[in-house]
Every structure is written in structure tokens, then in C-alpha cells.
């Protein structure tokens, strides 16, 4: 069975390939499928957007599709940027990692450490080749907005250079964390694990 991974983010694609490596399916990227279209994310929640994207690309490709939507939610800012996480600075276009990192720290100026709680929130959506919903899964990873960004960040994951995990005393960054820490904390991995039973059920149909 082929499964379309509906993301243009190479970091997400790499993680999903790793986390799904134990399932006997052929993973296909949007590039592999020759799809260059983008879909307008009009949903008011991560779940709505994840389902919208998965259904759109399934109908476009004729393949079962896995899509995600997620973002950063800062307690002191009432959950901002939320679903606007990638268009937070300039609403009419995708923002660069550097713009998002700089804007976050601009907005967080003067907010004390005990009020800097935040989380990365993710929803995965799996649809069949007709675009009908099969399953969703949801995960979050909580920490605080660090007083300054990490010295370096993984491209495509700007908020991981911002979210600090106090119990690890580390940024939520794959390169900063050990393999064991990544296994225990990666919220995308946990979301994938929740959706694997639905994928396996599709294989037996």
C-alpha cells in the first residue's frame, strides 16, 4: 500500500518516515506524486486543518493520505499563535523561521519566567483514497518560552528553538536531545504511534 505524506516540510517528512519505518507501506511525498498545489487552511482548529489538508491531497492523488497541522500555543498570549503559527508575523504569507523566532521574543518581552508556559500542539489526520476520514490523533509537548532562542535550530521547526523543557534542562530540539530523550518526548512520534493501529487496519482490508 502507498501512503501519501502531505507535507512540504522536509523535517516533518523525515520524522514521519522514521516513525513509520516499521509499517510495510510505501511512503510517497507530495514531490514524488508530482503535486505542487497548496491548500488554503481555513479551519479554526488544528484538527479541522489536518483533515482539510489530508482530504484535499487524497482526492488530488487518489492515495490514502496522512497530514498534520499544529503550532505553538503560548499561555501568556491567550494561546497565540495557535493555528496562525506559520503566518503569525505577516498574515498574507508564510513567515520564515527567523521572523517567527524574532517575533515571539518581541511579544514575550517583560513576561516573567513563571508566566512563560507554552506548548507545541499537533493533530495527525489519516484519510482513505476517497478523502474520507479514517482516524485522527493528537499530542502536545509542554515547556516554557526560553529567555532567548537556541543557538541553532532545525530548519522548518522554529518553535523548537524557543520551547525549553525544564525537566531536561534542554531546548526541545532533536539535535540537543539524546536518542532516549527524543524517544520519550517527541510529540509527533507519540501521535504517530496512536494512529498506527488505523494504518494497520487499512492494510488488512
Residue found under cell 484538527: 47
User: What average pLDDT does this structure show over 160-165?
Assistant: 96
Does pLDDT of 164 surpass 80? Answer: yes
Q: Which residue has the higher pLDDT, 172 or 90?
A: 172
**Residue percentage of the chain with pLDDT more than 70:** 100
Give the pLDDT of residue 32.
93
Which phi and psi angles does 143 have, rounded to 5°? -170, -145
How do 133-145 and 26-29 pair as beta strands?
unpaired
Report domain 2-203's class: alpha beta
Coil, helix or strand for 17?
helix
Given a contact cutoff of 8 angstroms between Cβ atoms, the answer to whether 135 and 195 are in contact is yes
**Can you tell me the mean pLDDT for 92-119?**
94
Residue 14: HSE in the Cβ half-sphere, 13 Å Cα cutoff: 8
> For the chain, which residues make up each domain, given as ranges?
2-203
As given in the structure block, the three cell numbers for residue 135 are: 482516524
* Active-site annotation, residues: 69
Query: Which pLDDT value is given to residue 11?
Result: 87
Q: Predicted confidence band at 93 (pLDDT cuts at 50, 70, 90)? A: confident
Give CA separation, 38 vs 67, 94, 146, in Å. Answer: 13, 12, 33
- Given pLDDT bands bounded at 50, 70 and 90, which one contains residue 57? very high
* pLDDT single digits (tens) 125-157: 999 999 999 999 999 999 999 999 998 888 889
pTM: 0.93
E-only strand ranges, the chain: 2-5, 26-29, 65-74, 117-127, 133-145, 163-165, 170-171
Amino acid at each position: 500500500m502507498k501512503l501519501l505524506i502531505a507535507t512540504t516540510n522536509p523535517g516533518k517528512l523525515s520524522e514521519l518516515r522514521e516513525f513509520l519505518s516499521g509499517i510495510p507501506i510505501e511512503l510517497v511525498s507530495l514531490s514524488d506524486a508530482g503535486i505542487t498545489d497548496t491548500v488554503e487552511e481555513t479551519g479554526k482548529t488544528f484538527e479541522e486543518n489536518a483533515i482539510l489538508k489530508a482530504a484535499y491531497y487524497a482526492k488530488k492523488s487518489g492515495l490514502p493520505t496522512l497530514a498534520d497541522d499544529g503550532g505553538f500555543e503560548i499561555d501568556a498570549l491567550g494561546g497565540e499563535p495557535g493555528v496562525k503559527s506559520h503566518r503569525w508575523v505577516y498574515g498574507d504569507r508564510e513567515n520564515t523561521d527567523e521572523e517567527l523566532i524574532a517575533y515571539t521574543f518581541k511579544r514575550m518581552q517583560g513576561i516573567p519566567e513563571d508566566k512563560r508556559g507554552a506548548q507545541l500542539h499537533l493533530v495527525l489526520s489519516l484519510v482513505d483514497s476517497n478523502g474520507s476520514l479514517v482516524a485522527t490523533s493528537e499530542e502536545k509537548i509542554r515547556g516554557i518560552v526560553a529567555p532567548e532562542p537556541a543557538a541553532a535550530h532545525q530548519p522548518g521547526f522554529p518553535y523548537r528553538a524557543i520551547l525549553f523543557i525544564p525537566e531536561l534542562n534542554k531546548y526541545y530540539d532533536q539535535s540537543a536531545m539524546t536518542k532516549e530523550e527524543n524517544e520519550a518526548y517527541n510529540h509527533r512520534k507519540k501521535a504517530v504511534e496512536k494512529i498506527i493501529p488505523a494504518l494497520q487496519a487499512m492494510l488488512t482490508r
